[in-house]
Amino acid sequence: MKEADVRALLAELIGEIAPEADLSSVGDDEDMREAIDLDSMDFNNLIIALHQRTGINVPEADYGKVVTLAGAIAYLRDKRLDQDDSRAQKP
């Protein structure tokens, strides 16, 4: 998953949860919850939407890794690579 694709996907999903939020104004290392006022329900809905769209299940213990744009991009890239590897290893 390319970085631009992850950014576009996050912008789309957040746009559905908080339509007035402008993700382009959020710094890569800013906590998105603070920057665009996502409460725990909003963030939970973002994790659900990510799971539905990408198949990537972010466990609750990893929520802290995806609260920034940079963190989410790295996390989703790594998870997607893991998925690709495990598929490639299947006979």
Partner 1 sequence: MIEFRMPALGADMEAGTLVEWLVHPGDRITSGAIIAVVETQKGAIEVEAFHNGTIAEIVVPVGEKVPVGAVLARIDDGVAAASPPAPIAVAETPVAMAEPPAVAAAPVAATAPAPAPRVAGARIKATPVARRRATQLGLDLSHLVGTGVDGAVSLADVEAAHPKAAPPAHKGFDAGAMRTAIAAAMTRSKREIPHYYLSETIDVSAALAWLERFNAAQPPAQRLLPAALLLKATALALREAPNLNGTYEDDVFTPGPGVHIGWAVALRGGGLIAPAIRDVDRKSLPEAMDAMRDIVKRARAGGLRSSEFMSATISITSLGERGAESVMGVIYPPQVAIVGFGRIAPRPAVVEGRVEARSLVTATLAADHRVSDGHTGALFLAALRDILSQPEAL
Chain positions contacting partner 1, by CB under 8 A: 18-20, 33-34, 37, 39-41, 44-45, 47-48, 50-52, 57-61
Least distance (Å) between residue 15 CB and partner 1: 10
d(CA 29, CA 27): 5
Q: Which is nearer to partner 1, 2 or 48 (CB)?
A: 48
Q: Which residue has the tokens 């994790």?
A: 47
Q: Tell me the C-alpha distance between 7 and 91, whole Å.
A: 33
Of the pair 24, 89, the CB lying nearest partner 1 is at: 24
Instruction: Please answer whether residues 75 and 58 qualify as being in contact, where contact means their C-beta atoms are separated by less than 8 angstroms.
Output: yes
Residue placing its CB nearer to partner 1 in the complex, 6 or 18: 18
Q: How far is the CB of 50 from partner 1 (least distance, A)?
A: 8
Q: What are phi and psi of 38, to 5 degrees?
A: -95, 125
Task: Quote the least distance from Cβ 55 to partner 1, whole Å.
Answer: 11
CB neighbourhood size of 20 (10 A): 7
